[in-house]
């Protein structure tokens, strides 16, 4: 049995599937709501542009070593011959941008900015995706439990969400990232830093999804199909997993997509403040922090800044398009 | 003892002092605003070892500006290098650094005192006699009791948290003495005696042959007890020098005018040329540089050099560059190599690090030739009296490291393919991060793999790199470090970073890696040596012994790029101030 993919609270209650299928079989050739949403999404050119950019970014991140091999230099390699040794800025105009160095070179050591931006995508996307996954899992689980069981459980989880939302997250993140030693939980180096950032960012952004899921669950559990399942003797796990969750896929997907750019920005902010992944591993936020010291060399800030801007914009546009497609009444 | 603060990140660097005389192109560019007195030729480093634009003409106003603000104007409560330079305009200590260019400026001469201190046999008692005719700005005579009172109040670290603590630490104060505010009317004659109005006797707990250096510090500037307002005294310091406060607007600036009761006959050291001194504080640093170049203000009082933005204007322009001086500071940026961390317990592994390090990269990390510093080959900066630079580990003809030698030593150490260790640095300091990155790159060439470990600078020495058990536990083989001396003397420079007895298991010491009993013995020996000239070979011997042990990788001796004021006379840099000597300046 599949439940209708719909958002509750709508004016038109979904008809039982059998009836719908029987009546409109000829007219719409059995297109599911998912297919309809996909059609709508395809028609939304802005969202598709966002999607294309996202795909390109993911490819860039995955194949970073290959791309850098073809178009750049290793991200940690010094090119001091490109740098004026008395002022420490690139010798050539426009920050040394050339066919050899597509985005120019960094002041001080002359590292290839192109390679560092490409490698920076790895860290940014990895942390953003994993953190979003973590917060989605926690948020959905607790949101459904709160919404479905209600009462004391709901109060407890809802207050916990309030506490997390009111928490001075940045301050806490800086403190936590500062005190964790170099080796912990069997991890070390970059792996530990990435895991730590994923934990901090993911663990503190779950209430955003949790609240949405709880609200949806609250209204879904009063619906007829849930009552029907209950009257047939279904137990809570069955109802949650087979009746509620499939109906929650749309809002979860939308908010997860919109959470990713927030997390990218948060990771960049932490790296900018020096509590992210440790140097010399390139990160966009870390590059911006260094660029701030060389404001006479604006190209240094431009490329990592653009990378963050484009990525965040792409995810936001795609997320908006996805929401429009899945829930056209939200327009 | 803590190191003397520098106002901003010490912007530093450039050519060897020896090049001063022949450096720079002869040009008079940028001197157009001058009218009186023939303009001296502006040259790069023209004021480094000699007086630029010498003159005895009195009158005029000197304009200073500060991108920040003083920690305090109170002589008991200030620890900025520039403040110790400037304070001599409105205060007189028992002794002072001679107002003279170059090495001569690093000699101590009597100021309030008639002569340098007379030590007892065991160097634990020092006696000074005051000159005749000394007066405060209100006309009351200065007595030895005013000096004693000033030193006593400086021990109150709650009221005066900023000032130097040498006298508090080294004099034999009564137990639990907390200064004249809290320990009212407590007799402190065990530390300082004033048998009459002209004589003052200091009693030390340990022998110290360099006490004249401590007597030149601002806490010995007399403070009249009747006018002392404690923490508020900074708002109106009673002058004992040639200038006194006319008005003082905290946070904005202040003005000094001539002190009518200062008698030039009692003061052979201060020419006191200008009539008036105006100081603006909290001026935007880049704006300050621009106004300095336009001649709107004369001197950036912080004396740490121009900002990077101004530097990129000055260095490519020969006319502007001719108006700069590039002194070497008494500050060494270095990296400690900890023999407590394997495999660096083996001296050959440490030597491999010294040979493999790219010294030009180190220089670049601190800002390059002009604002970074001179490549250091040993510990003592060349401007410390008696310092004789030497190089036990030549890093190849181009200064990028001697890889063949490094590999040789790696083999001798039993690690022919290199090894892994960590490098600690202060996270807030981009230059130290760049140093760590540079070392990571250059040591990787011989297979030594470094992992970067940033730590917060506030706890760097107390909890991390300066705490011996932490260093061992976390394998911090290397730690980026730096040290500047409070006064130009081998003891002041070396003791805190090479005497193993300053290392505490609980952390907090700047000395991370040097534990050589012979060096400790040499320090003890130096404390009993009365003749400063005879102490100098000891400093060199200590320097050599530490370098032989290969526990310190010297990086650069810091330099700063100072913009020479337009329209001023008697401009020079002394080895004691390492910036323009503010006492000598006059207006054209």
For chain B, the domains span: 328-559
Spell out which residues of chain A touch residue B455, defining contact as CB-CB under 8 Å. Answer: none
Q: How far apart, in whole angstroms, are the C-alpha atoms of residue B116 and residue B134?
A: 17
Which among B368, B433, B453 is the nearest to A88, CB-wise?
B368
Q: What is the pLDDT of residue B39?
A: 53
Confidence band of B11 (pLDDT split at 50, 70, 90):
very low
Which among B309, B315, B456 is the nearest to A86, CB-wise?
B315
Q: What is the pLDDT of residue B129?
A: 95
- In the three-class reduction of DSSP (H, G, I as helix; E, B as strand; rest coil), residue B199 is classed as strand
Q: What is the pLDDT of residue B260?
A: 94
Q: What is the pLDDT of residue B92?
A: 96
Q: What is the pLDDT of residue B65?
A: 94
Question: For chain A, what percent of residues have pLDDT higher than 90?
Answer: 24
pLDDT of B342 strictly over 80? yes
Question: For chain A, what percent of residues have pLDDT higher than 70?
Answer: 89
Question: For chain B, what percent of residues have pLDDT higher than 90?
Answer: 57
Whether the model pTM is above 0.90? no
Start-to-end C-alpha separation, chain B = 40
Task: Dump pLDDT digits (tens) for B277-310.
Answer: 999 999 988 899 999 999 899 999 988 888 877 8
- Mean pLDDT, to the nearest integer, of B532-552? 91
Which range among A207-216, B6-15, B203-212 shows the weakest confidence by mean pLDDT? B6-15
Task: Dump pLDDT digits (tens) for B215-264.
Answer: 999 999 999 999 999 889 999 999 999 999 999 998 899 999 999 999 99
pLDDT of A133 strictly over 90? yes
The helix (H) or strand (E) run that includes residue B331 is strand B328-337
Which of B360, B434, B561 is the best residue to mutate to test the A interface, defined by the most A CB atoms within 10 Å of its own CB? B434
Confidence band of B354 (pLDDT split at 50, 70, 90):
very high
CA atoms within 13 A on the CB side of A34: 8
- Interchain contact, B454 vs A76, CB within 8 Å: no
> How do the residues of chain B divide into helix, strand and coil, expressed in percent and rounded to 5?
30, 20, 50
In angstroms, the separation between the Cα of residue A184 and the nearest Cα of chain B is 12
Spell out which residues of chain B touch residue A78, defining contact as CB-CB under 8 Å. Answer: 361, 438, 441
Q: How far apart, in whole angstroms, are the C-alpha atoms of residue B171 and residue B150?
A: 14
C-alpha dihedral, B85 to B87 to B92 to B95, nearest 10°: -30
pLDDT of B28 strictly over 70? no
Q: Is the peptide bond before A280 cis (omega within 30 degrees of 0)?
A: yes
ipTM over 0.85: no
Which of A86, A187, A188 is the best residue to mutate to test the B interface, defined by the most B CB atoms within 10 Å of its own CB? A86
In angstroms, the separation between the Cα of residue A173 and the nearest Cα of chain B is 15
- Mean pLDDT, to the nearest integer, of B127-146? 94
pLDDT of A330 strictly over 80? no
- Interchain contact, A109 vs B434, CB within 8 Å: yes
Q: How far apart, in whole angstroms, are the C-alpha atoms of residue A218 and residue A146?
A: 8
Question: What chain A residue is nearest to B445 in terms of C-alpha separation?
Answer: A77
Strand ranges (DSSP E) for A167-324? 183-184, 187-188
Which range among A1-5, A304-308, B267-271 shows the weakest confidence by mean pLDDT? A1-5
Confidence band of B109 (pLDDT split at 50, 70, 90):
very high
Q: Is B427 on the interface with A (CB under 8 A)?
A: yes
- Interchain contact, A108 vs B441, CB within 8 Å: no
Q: How far apart, in whole angstroms, are the C-alpha atoms of residue B208 and residue B236?
A: 34
Task: Dump pLDDT digits (tens) for A237-266.
Answer: 888 888 888 888 888 988 898 899 989 998
Which among B433, B434, B456 is the nearest to A178, CB-wise?
B456
Question: For chain B, what percent of residues have pLDDT higher than 70?
Answer: 93
Which range among A164-178, A199-213, B32-46, B400-414 shows the weakest confidence by mean pLDDT? B32-46
Q: How many interchain CB pairs under 8 A, A with B?
A: 62
Confidence band of B8 (pLDDT split at 50, 70, 90):
very low
Task: Dump pLDDT digits (tens) for B417-457.
Answer: 999 999 999 888 888 988 999 999 999 999 999 998 888 87
- Mean pLDDT, to the nearest integer, of B525-540? 85
Which among A80, A86, A278 is the nearest to B370, CB-wise?
A86
pLDDT of B366 strictly over 60? yes
Task: Dump pLDDT digits (tens) for B488-514.
Answer: 888 889 988 999 988 888 887 888 999
In angstroms, the separation between the Cα of residue B324 and the nearest Cα of chain A is 14
Q: How far apart, in whole angstroms, are the C-alpha atoms of residue B568 and residue B243?
A: 18
Residue B34 in tokens? 């001058």
- Mean pLDDT, to the nearest integer, of B138-163? 92
- Of B278, B334, B332, B325, which is closest to residue B303 (Cα–Cα)? B325
Q: Is B369 on the interface with A (CB under 8 A)?
A: yes
Q: Which CATH number fits domain B328-559: 3.30.420.40, 2.120.10.10, 3.10.105.10, 3.30.413.10?
A: 3.10.105.10
Q: Is B420 on the interface with A (CB under 8 A)?
A: no
Write down how long chain A is. 331
- Mean pLDDT, to the nearest integer, of A300-315? 91
A88 or B22: which carries more pLDDT confidence? A88
Name B97's bridge partners.
B108
Q: How far apart, in whole angstroms, are the C-alpha atoms of residue B76 and residue A29?
A: 91
Spell out which residues of chain A touch residue B315, defining contact as CB-CB under 8 Å. Answer: 86-87
Q: How far apart, in whole angstroms, are the C-alpha atoms of residue B275 and residue B303?
A: 22
- Interchain contact, A89 vs B474, CB within 8 Å: no
Q: What is the pLDDT of residue B35?
A: 39
Q: What is the pLDDT of residue B29?
A: 36
């Amino acid at each position: 049995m599949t439940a209708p993919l719909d958002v509750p609270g709508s004016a038109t209650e979904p008809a039982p599937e059998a009836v719908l299928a029987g009546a409109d079989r000829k007219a719409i050739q059995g297109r599911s709501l998912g297919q309809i949403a996909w059609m709508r999404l395809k028609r939304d050119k802005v969202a598709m542009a966002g999607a294309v950019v996202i795909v390109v970014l993911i490819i860039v991140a995955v194949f970073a070593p290959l791309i850098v091999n073809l178009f750049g230099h290793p991200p940690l390699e010094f090119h001091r011959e490109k740098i004026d040794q008395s002022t420490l800025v690139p010798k050539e105009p426009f920050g040394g941008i050339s066919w050899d160095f597509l985005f120019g070179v960094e002041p001080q050591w002359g590292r290839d900015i192109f390679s560092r931006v490409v490698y920076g995508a790895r860290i940014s996307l990895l942390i953003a995706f994993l953190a979003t996954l973590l917060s989605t899992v926690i948020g959905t689980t607790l949101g459904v439990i709160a919404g479905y069981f209600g009462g004391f459980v709901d109060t407890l989880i809802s207050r916990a969400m309030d506490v997390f939302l009111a928490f001075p997250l940045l301050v806490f993140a800086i403190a936590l990232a500062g005190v964790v030693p170099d080796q912990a939980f069997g991890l070390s180096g970059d792996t530990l830093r990435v895991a730590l950032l994923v934990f901090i960012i993911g663990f503190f952004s779950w209430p955003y999804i949790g609240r949405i899921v709880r609200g949806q669950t609250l209204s879904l559990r009063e619906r007829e199909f849930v009552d029907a399942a209950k009257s047939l003797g279904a137990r809570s796990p069955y109802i949650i997993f087979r009746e509620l969750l499939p109906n929650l896929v749309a809002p979860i997907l939308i908010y997860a997509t919109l959470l990713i750019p927030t997390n990218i920005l948060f990771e960049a902010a932490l790296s900018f403040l020096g509590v992210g992944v440790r140097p010399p591993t390139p990160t966009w936020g870390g590059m911006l922090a260094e660029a701030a010291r060389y404001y006479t060399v604006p190209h240094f800030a431009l490329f990592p800044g653009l990378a963050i801007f484009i990525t965040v914009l792409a995810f936001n546009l795609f997320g908006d398009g996805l929401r429009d497609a899945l829930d056209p009444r939200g327009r | 003892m803590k190191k003397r603060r520098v106002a901003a990140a010490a912007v530093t660097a450039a050519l060897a002092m020896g090049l001063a005389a022949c450096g720079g192109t002869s040009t008079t560019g940028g001197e157009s605003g001058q009218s009186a007195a023939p303009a001296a030729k502006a040259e790069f480093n023209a004021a480094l070892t000699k007086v630029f634009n010498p003159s005895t003409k009195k009158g005029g106003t000197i304009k200073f500006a500060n991108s920040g603000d003083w920690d305090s104007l109170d002589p008991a409560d200030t620890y900025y290098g520039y403040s110790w330079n400037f304070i001599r305009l409105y205060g007189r200590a028992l002794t002072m650094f001679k107002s003279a260019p170059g090495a001569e400026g690093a000699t101590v001469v009597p100021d309030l005192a008639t002569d340098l201190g007379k030590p007892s046999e065991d160097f634990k008692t020092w006696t000074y006699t005051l000159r005749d005719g000394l007066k405060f700005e209100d006309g009351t005579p200065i007595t030895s009791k005013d000096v004693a009172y000033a030193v006593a109040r400086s021990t109150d670290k709650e009221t005066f948290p900023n000032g130097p603590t040498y006298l508090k630490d080294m004099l034999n104060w009564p137990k639990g003495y907390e200064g004249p505010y809290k320990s009212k009317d407590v007799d402190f004659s065990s530390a300082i005696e004033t048998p009459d109005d002209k004589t003052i006797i200091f009693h030390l707990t340990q022998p110290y042959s360099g006490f004249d250096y401590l007597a030149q510090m601002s806490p010995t500037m007399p403070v009249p007890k009747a006018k002392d307002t404690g923490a508020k005294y900074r708002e109106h310091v009673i002058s004992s020098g040639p200038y006194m406060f006319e008005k003082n607007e905290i946070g904005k600036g202040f003005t000094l005018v001539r002190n009518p009761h200062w008698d030039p006959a009692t003061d052979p050291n201060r020419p006191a040329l200008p009539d008036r001194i105006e100081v603006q504080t909290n001026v935007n640093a880049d704006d300050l540089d621009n106004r300095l170049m336009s001649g709107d203000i004369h001197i950036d009082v912080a004396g740490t050099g121009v900002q990077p933005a101004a530097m990129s204007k000055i260095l490519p322009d020969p006319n502007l560059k001719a108006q700069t001086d590039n002194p070497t500071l008494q500050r060494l940026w270095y990296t400690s190599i900890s023999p407590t961390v394997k495999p660096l317990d083996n001296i050959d592994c440490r030597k491999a690090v010294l040979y493999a390090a790219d010294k030009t990269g180190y220089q670049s990390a601190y800002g390059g030739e002009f604002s970074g510093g001179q490549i250091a080959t040993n510990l003592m900066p060349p401007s410390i009296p008696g310092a004789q630079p030497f190089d036990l580990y030549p890093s190849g003809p181009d200064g990028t490291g001697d890889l063949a030698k490094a590999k040789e030593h790696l083999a001798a150490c039993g690690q022919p393919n290199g090894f892994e260790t960590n490098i600690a640095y202060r996270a807030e300091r981009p230059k130290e991060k760049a140093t760590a990155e540079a070392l990571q790159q250059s040591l990787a060439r011989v297979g030594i793999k470094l992992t970067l470990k940033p730590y917060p600078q506030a706890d760097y020495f107390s909890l991390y790199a300066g705490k011996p058990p932490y260093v061992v536990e976390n394998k911090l083989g290397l730690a980026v470090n730096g040290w500047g001396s409070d006064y130009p003397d081998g003891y002041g420079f070396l003791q805190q970073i090479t005497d193993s007895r300053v290392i505490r298991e609980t952390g907090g010491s700047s000395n991370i890696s040097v534990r050589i009993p012979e060096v400790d013995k040499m320090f003890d020996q130096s404390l009993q040596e009365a003749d400063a000239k005879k102490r100098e070979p000891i400093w060199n011997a200590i320097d050599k012994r530490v370098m032989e042990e290969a526990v310190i990788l010297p990086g650069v001796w810091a330099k700063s790029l100072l913009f020479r004021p337009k329209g001023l006379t008697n401009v020079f840099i002394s080895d004691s101030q390492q910036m323009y000597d503010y006492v000598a300046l006059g207006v054209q």
